[in-house]
Amino acid sequence: MERTAVPAPVPAPPAEVLRVRHEGSVAPVPDPAEALAVFDVRDLSVCYGDRPAIRDVTMQIRQGEITALIGPSGCGKSTLLRSFNRMNDLIPSARVEGTLRYYGQDLYARDVDPVVVRRRIGMVFQKPNPFPKSIYDNVAFGPKVNGMDVDLDGLVETSLRRAALWDEVRTKLTASAYSLSGGQQQRLCIARAIAVNPDVILMDEPCSALDPIATARIEDLMRELQESYTIVIVTHNMQQAARVSDRTAFITTEVDSDAGDHRSGRLVEFDRTEQIFRNPQHSRTEDYVTGRFG
Ligand SMILES: Nc1ncnc2c1ncn2[C@@H]1O[C@H](COP(=O)(O)OP(=O)(O)OP(=O)(O)O)[C@@H](O)[C@H]1O
Ligand SMILES: [Mg+2]
């Protein structure tokens, strides 16, 4: 939805930030026309083995916005989301084709370190997955393993405050993360993602395991986080997409007549959320958002 308050722009990271393998390599200068595009996705396809899961996606994710990915089960939303921080690299059969630029830099270039990518572009999963550690250690873990030279106590507090969890846990930081409710655990996972200072947060159905009150808290939190981060969220909940996102991408499955009638995902329509829900340009989008299909 359009907001009245314009979020503060997030400063772009230096273009060479992802390049750690070849010191001194010259980073490409981002095209000024793409200055606001955090991700510039062109003809992106992801296959598992020889089966495409999603094909020919072209879209731009803009800085400081919340982008929602919606569509029926199996259309490739999680697959597309995982391509934004190279999580598909961890699935041996997954293969990514096309280009995905992050601030103008090819995210899949050989000299880009996926570990650095995942620090800049954090992820929160469907099921809260805190480590079997204390609340404090969950948040401090990332900064420690990344060798960040920071005041850890201060960083833990700031991250928990930003994740709207500090007031609930400040007196029990040494308690196990598992002693928290599901909604609190999800906010802890958000604090953990924030602690390593990312500039994008990817969320794959972050509220689907939560009750309506915990969901509302996470949605409020997303609005607050939007002031500092670019967010991409997968959701099955269309009201949630309509409530929290600035832009919405509708993806659906199509039969590939050129591939033995296998089905794979396609981006049907990508526009301002208001447009997608009030005045979609494609009948398939309209059928989906009005509940006639999917
Ligand atoms: N690790 C994997 N190995 C092989 N095929 C996979 C793998 N992960 C997903 N797929 C296939 O890719 C397609 C897209 O799956 P994906 O999980 O991206 O869909 P989704 O839109 O996130 O679905 P849901 O809404 O159910 O979470 C599906 O056909 C799925 O079976
Ligand atoms: Mg999924």
CATH value at residue 213: 3.40.50.300
Q: Is residue 27 part of a domain?
A: yes
Residues spanned by the domain of 276: 15-289
Question: Residue with the nearest Cα to atom 17 of ligand 1?
Answer: 78
C-alpha angle 33/117/177, rounded to 5°? Answer: 130
Report the nearest atom of ligand 1 relative to the CA of 263: 29
Average pLDDT score over residue span 249-259? 87
Q: For residue 146, is pLDDT > 70?
A: yes
Average pLDDT score over residue span 280-285? 96
Contact 150, 143 (CB under 8 A): yes
- Give the per-residue pLDDT at 6: 41
Average pLDDT score over residue span 152-168? 94
Q: Is residue 186 part of a domain?
A: yes
- Alpha-helix runs per DSSP H in 176-278: 182-195, 212-225, 238-244, 273-278
- Give the per-residue pLDDT at 26: 39
Q: Which residues are bridge partners to 95 per DSSP?
A: 47
Greater confidence (26 vs 106) lies with 106
Q: For residue 16, is pLDDT > 70?
A: no
Mutate to test the pocket of ligand 1, among 45, 79, 127, 251 (most ligand atoms within 8 A of CB): 79
Q: Is residue 4 part of a domain?
A: no
- Give the per-residue pLDDT at 13: 52
* Distance from the alpha carbon of residue 20 to the mean position of ligand 1, in angstroms: 31
Closest CA to 196 of 90, 100, 85: 85
- Give the per-residue pLDDT at 183: 93
What does the alpha-carbon distance between residue 204 and residue 208 come to, in Å, rounded to a whole number? 9
Question: Ligand 1 within 6 A of 179 CB?
Answer: no
Contact 214, 207 (CB under 8 A): yes
- Give the per-residue pLDDT at 210: 86
Report the nearest atom of ligand 1 relative to the CA of 205: 27
The full length of the chain comes to 294
Question: Residue with the nearest Cα to atom 26 of ligand 1?
Answer: 73
Residue 86 buriedness (CB in 10 A; 0-12 / 13-18 / 19+): buried
pLDDT in tens, 69-98: 999 999 999 999 999 999 999 999 999 999
What does the alpha-carbon distance between residue 38 and residue 12 come to, in Å, rounded to a whole number? 8
Question: Residue with the nearest Cα to atom 12 of ligand 1?
Answer: 53
pTM over 0.95: no
Which CA distances in Å does 21 have to 16, 66, 108, 111, 269? 11, 31, 13, 6, 37
- Give the per-residue pLDDT at 36: 74
Domain tally, the chain: 1
What does the alpha-carbon distance between residue 85 and residue 194 come to, in Å, rounded to a whole number? 15
Q: Is residue 269 part of a domain?
A: yes
Q: For residue 3, is pLDDT > 50?
A: no
pLDDT in tens, 176-235: 999 999 999 999 999 999 999 999 999 999 998 888 998 998 999 999 999 999 999 999
Q: Is residue 48 part of a domain?
A: yes
* Phi, psi torsion values for 264, nearest 5 degrees: -145, 165
Q: Is residue 157 part of a domain?
A: yes
